[in-house]
């Protein structure tokens, strides 16, 4: 029974290719800028976790390339092997530890090779990493990447090098991330770092530090630059993008910043979205992730106003029960969340809505679990990321509550949630059959060399015969068929 459930979960994850920790550790190849002299050393970097970690790896690659390093996509050839890690669930950390075993074998063969751990797991474990995993030479947290060249030099002398200082200011604002592994059509732009929300289950505030927003001018400049290079879609990234707030006045902090107005020189998420949407009508804009508490009508009106802001909102609910939401410290209850859903339906009627759900949080009863299923029935998400609660050391939930829902019960609840979501995803896709969508072509379909794949505004993957089009172009595609994960169609 257990293996079957696990296989089922994996099959679903693969079918959506979206669950963060199931993403393969992608490698990255970069070119050293022409004016930078080579230092004769090569680095290899591999990333796990969310999009923000992948975006960070591009910043790391840029920093190292500017310090004279060349890159390699073969870790056997590397002088420095870097692994950018995720700590969100126990399973994510286990994958990293397994991967370190592989690198251990490399080190035995190539004595000079250094292994560096970056990202959220590095921040969570700090020096402890060096004790627990003997092969690790460098530990660098998410705000310490500018110091990587120095850390590598330190490690070359045989010492262990650690920098896990979190910052209140670092946004890597002016560092232009390298994007050589991309499809040349869609790109991610980090607009903020950290998180101040303190959801009780979540390790992110501990690993990424305090929330800070990046200067909007550097964001707009980066988006413009991408457009000039031929990119046609940007996704604005952050743990909580809709709480974006930037001011040049550094005395505006905390509540003062929240209360300050546009006329005071403060740029909030709605204004930023507008600025990026105004770059060009054929540059699409997406964003991820939004916290329900900050999804204001102001943001929704801007979405409705601009055709090039994609009609898609990822609005993690976590649970459909108000008592559990209280324990999770999500700061909204079921009714409040459903009111936001109604506001989206009213202001942006074509929007698709997706979510994140956690099954089996501390003390969750059967009836409370059914509240989650009932909420799903009410909202009818187009897509969802669904997880079993995984207790994370140091989080408020780990300190305050007992992780008391038995593993089999958690798995069964997750299974019920996945079943229902598969049904809803299929229904949502079936309702699109016969409709025509504008699709931005991203590349060749993984299943067929004769088909393109791209996405519509609602973030649904659309596959269709190639014809005379090419990646980066928009095509109007009439949907003729679907699965629960993909729409199939023909150009009209
Ligand atoms: N900042 C984003 C979420 C980032 S983590 C947001 O608030 O929307 C992505 C998802 O992982 C969360 O939405 C949550 O559903 C899940 N998650 C986080 N911590 C978890 C834990 N300890 N166990 C299981 N799932 C967790
Ligand atoms: Fe974690 Fe909550 Fe912050 Fe999302 S909003 S990163 S779930 S603390
Ligand atoms: Fe993981 Fe850190 Fe992202 S914990 S999900 S890589 S912010």
Cα–chain-centroid distance for residue 226?
Answer: 19
The domain defined by 183-310 folds into Transcription Regulator spoIIAA (3.30.750)
Distance CA 280, CA 472 (A): 14
The two beta strands, 312-314 and 352-359, are: parallel
Residue 29: its pLDDT value, please? Answer: 66
Give the Å distance between the CA of 164 and the centre of ligand 2.
20
Distance CA 155, CA 157 (A): 5
Give the Å distance between the CA of 414 and the centre of ligand 1.
15
Residue 5: its pLDDT value, please? Answer: 30
Residue 18: its pLDDT value, please? Answer: 35
The two beta strands, 138-140 and 161-163, are: parallel
Distance CA 30, CA 332 (A): 43
Chain mean pLDDT for the chain: 90
Give the Å distance between the CA of 16 and the centre of ligand 2.
22
Residue 8: its pLDDT value, please? Answer: 30
| Closest atom of ligand 2 to CA, residue 195 | 3
* CB distance 50 to ligand 3 below 6 Å: yes
User: pTM (2 decimals)?
Assistant: 0.92
Distance CA 67, CA 291 (A): 37
CB 88 within 8 A of CB 20: yes
**What is the H or E stretch that residue 192 is in?**
strand 192-193
Distance CA 116, CA 137 (A): 6
Residue 20: its pLDDT value, please? Answer: 37
The alpha helices in 157-259, defined as continuous H runs, are 204-208, 216-228, 254-259
Domain extents in the chain:
10-163, 183-310, 312-431, 436-491
Tokens found for residue 221: 């400049």
CB 30 within 8 A of CB 57: no
Cα torsion for 106, 112, 113, 114, to the nearest 10°? 130
Q: Which residues contact 307 (CB under 8 A, 6 or more apart)?
A: 281
Residue 192: its pLDDT value, please? Answer: 96
| Closest atom of ligand 2 to CA, residue 205 | 8
Write the pLDDT tens digit of every residue in 67-80.
999 988 888 889 99
* Ligand nearest to the CA of residue 49, numbered in listed order: 3
Question: How wide is the angle at C-alpha 173 spanned by C-alphas 36 and 40, nearest 5°?
Answer: 20
Among 28, 10, 32, which residue's Cα sits nearest to residue 19? 10
Write the pLDDT tens digit of every residue in 456-490.
999 999 999 999 999 999 999 999 999 998 999 99
The domain defined by 312-431 folds into Transcription Regulator spoIIAA (3.30.750)
The domain defined by 10-163 folds into Rossmann fold (3.40.50)
* CB distance 120 to ligand 3 below 6 Å: yes
* CB distance 202 to ligand 3 below 6 Å: no
Residue 120: its pLDDT value, please? Answer: 97
Residue 263: its pLDDT value, please? Answer: 67
CATH number for the domain running over 436-491: 2.40.50.140
Residue from 206, 207, 211 whose mutation best tests the ligand 3 pocket (most atoms within 8 A of CB): 207
Report phi then psi at 180, rounded to 5: -75, -20
| Closest atom of ligand 3 to CA, residue 87 | 4
The sign of the dihedral angle between the CA atoms of 45, 49, 50, 56 is negative
Low-confidence ranges of the chain (pLDDT < 70): 1-29, 180-181, 262-263
Distance CA 396, CA 126 (A): 19
Distance CA 330, CA 337 (A): 10
Distance CA 112, CA 108 (A): 9
* CB distance 395 to ligand 3 below 6 Å: no
* Topology alike, domains 312-431 and 436-491: no
Report phi then psi at 82, rounded to 5: -115, 140
């Amino acid at each position: 029974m257990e293996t079957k459930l696990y296989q089922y979960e994996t099959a679903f994850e693969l079918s959506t290719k979206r669950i963060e920790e199931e993403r393969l550790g992608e490698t990255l190849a970069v070119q050293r800028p022409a004016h930078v002299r080579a230092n004769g050393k090569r680095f290899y970097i591999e990333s796990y976790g969310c999009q923000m970690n992948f975006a960070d790896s591009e910043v790391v690659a840029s920093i190292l390339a500017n310090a004279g390093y060349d890159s390699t996509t073969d870790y056997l050839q590397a002088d420095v092997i870097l692994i950018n890690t995720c700590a969100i669930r126990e399973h994510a950390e286990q994958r990293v530890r397994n991967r370190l075993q592989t690198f251990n074998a490399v080190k035995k063969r190539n004595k000079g090779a250094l292994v560096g751990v970056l990202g959220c797991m590095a921040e969570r474990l700090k020096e402890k990493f060096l004790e627990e995993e003997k092969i690790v030479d460098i530990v660098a947290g998410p705000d310490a990447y500018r110091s990587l060249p120095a850390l590598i030099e330190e490690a070359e002398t045989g010492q262990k090098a650690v920098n896990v200082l979190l910052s209140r200011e670092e946004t890597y604002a002016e560092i232009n991330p390298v994007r050589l592994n991309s499809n040349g059509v869609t790109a991610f732009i980090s607009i903020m770092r950290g998180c101040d929300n303190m959801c009780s289950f979540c390790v992110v505030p501990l690993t990424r530090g305090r929330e800070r927003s990046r200067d909007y001018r550097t964001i707009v400049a980066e988006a413009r630059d991408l457009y000039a290079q031929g990119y046609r879609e940007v996704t604005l990234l952050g743990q909580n993008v809709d709480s974006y707030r930037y001011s040049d006045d550094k005395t505006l902090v905390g509540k003062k910043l929240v209360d300050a107005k546009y006329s005071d020189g403060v740029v909030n998420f709605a204004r930023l979205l507008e600025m990026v949407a105004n770059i060009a009508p054929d540059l699409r804009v997406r964003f991820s992730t939004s916290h329900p508490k900050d999804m204001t009508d102001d943001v929704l009106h801007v979405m409705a106003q601009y055709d090039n802001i994609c009609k898609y909102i990822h609005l993690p609910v976590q649970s459909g029960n108000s008592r559990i939401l209280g324990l999770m410290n999500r700061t909204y209850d079921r009714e409040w969340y459903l009111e936001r859903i109604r506001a989206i339906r009213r202001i942006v009627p074509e929007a698709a809505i997706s979510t994140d759900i956690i099954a089996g949080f501390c003390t969750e009863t059967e009836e409370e679990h059914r509240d989650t299923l009932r909420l799903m029935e009410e909202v009818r998400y187009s897509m969802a990321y669904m997880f079993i609660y995984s207790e994370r050391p140091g989080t408020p939930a780990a300190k305050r509550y007992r992780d008391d829902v038995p593993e089999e019960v958690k798995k069964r609840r997750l299974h019920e949630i996945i079943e229902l979501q598969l049904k809803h995803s299929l229904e949502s896709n079936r309702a699109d059959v016969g409709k025509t969508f504008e699709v931005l072509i991203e590349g060749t379909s993984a299943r067929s060399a004769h088909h393109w794949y791209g996405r519509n505004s609602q973030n649904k993957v659309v596959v269709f015969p190639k014809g005379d089009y090419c990646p980066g172009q928009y095509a109007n595609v009439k949907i003729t068929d679907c699965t629960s994960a993909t729409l199939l169609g023909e150009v009209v």
